[in-house]
Chain A
């Protein structure tokens, strides 16, 4: 069975502080990992994906297969980063066509 765990429901930081949103997964195979973000009153959006190894809005995430983690990081948080962040996994068993989501972490960035 595949599982995604986001241990923090809420993460509160000050503007300019570093941010790390934790994500751990359980999957017996080669998963693909994603981070989705939902800003207030907006739809769920894809933030970044492991396969692309990209940096979006200053955020990066590295897949650590040994620790089965895919933590999201940003060196300097901005107020506009305040949102709900979801880590998600898809696996080859479903043709990478189903996403298993974590429960999400609310990031609040204060001025």
Chain B
């Protein structure tokens, strides 16, 4: 079956702009999580959605937001981009989070 799909793969944006990243989870998976990966901070949890509801949120500013649709697809939005937002953004999905998550390939965001 198809894995977790993230689009686009690469993005270049200018400071102050906003960006929307998309994630299609594995069919049947209702839990979708987002992570930011940077060389300095490693993998950091952004938020998690289950059945269109945000269940958990990490320690990121309000410029980072997300949502989940009825088909479990998820989007995350970053407004007023800063240089420090340059990172690989990973989406992960799970049928039962207790057993772990399957990750997508990520979207590489570069802010210039």
A residues at B contact (CB < 8 Å): 32, 34, 36, 43-46, 49, 51-52, 86, 90, 94-104
Q: Is the CB of A44 within 8 A of B90?
A: yes
Report the 7 A-B pairs with minimum CB-CB distance, sorted nearest first.
Answer: A97-B97, A101-B43, A44-B103, A96-B98, A103-B42, A46-B100, A43-B105
Contact A96 B97 (CB under 8 A): yes
- List A contacts of B90 (CB < 8 A): 44
A1 to B102 Cα, complex, angstroms:
24
User: Within the complex, which residue of B92, B97, B99 is in contact with A95, where a contact is CB–CB below 8 Å?
Assistant: B97
Contacts A44-B90, A97-B55, A98-B56 known; A86 to B43 CB distance under 8 Å?
A: yes
The residue in B3, B50, B98 that gathers the most chain A C-beta atoms within 10 A of its C-beta is B98
Chain A neighbourhood of B43, CB < 8 A = 86, 99, 101
Distance between Cα atoms of A52 and B103 in the complex (Å): 19
Beta-carbon contact of A43 and B33 below 8 Å: no
The prevalent SS among residues of A at the interface is mixed
Partner of B42, one of A34, A49, A95, A102: A102
Whole-angstrom distance between the Cβ of A53 and the nearest chain B Cβ = 13
Interface size, B (range):
20 to 34
Asked if A97 and B42 make an inter-chain contact with CB atoms under 8 angstroms apart, the answer reads no
Task: Give the interface of B toward A (CB within 8 A).
Answer: 3, 31, 33, 35, 42-45, 48, 50, 55-56, 58, 90, 92, 94, 97-106
Across-interface contacts of B45 in A (CB, < 8 A)? 98-100
Residues of B within 8 A of A46 (CB): 100-102
Interface centre among B43, B97, B100, B102 (most CB of A within 10 A): B100
In the complex, A102→B44 CA distance in Å?
Answer: 10
Using A99-B35, A100-B45 as known contacts, list a sample of 6 further A-B pairs with CB atoms less than 8 Å apart, ordered by residue number in A.
A32-B98, A43-B105, A90-B98, A97-B55, A98-B58, A101-B43
- Distance A49 CA – B99 CA, assembled complex (angstroms): 7
* Closest-CB distance, B108 to chain A (whole angstroms): 12
A102 to B48 Cα, complex, angstroms: 19
Alpha-carbon separation in the docked complex, A32 to B96 (Å): 13
Cα A97 to Cα B46 in complex, Å, equals 12
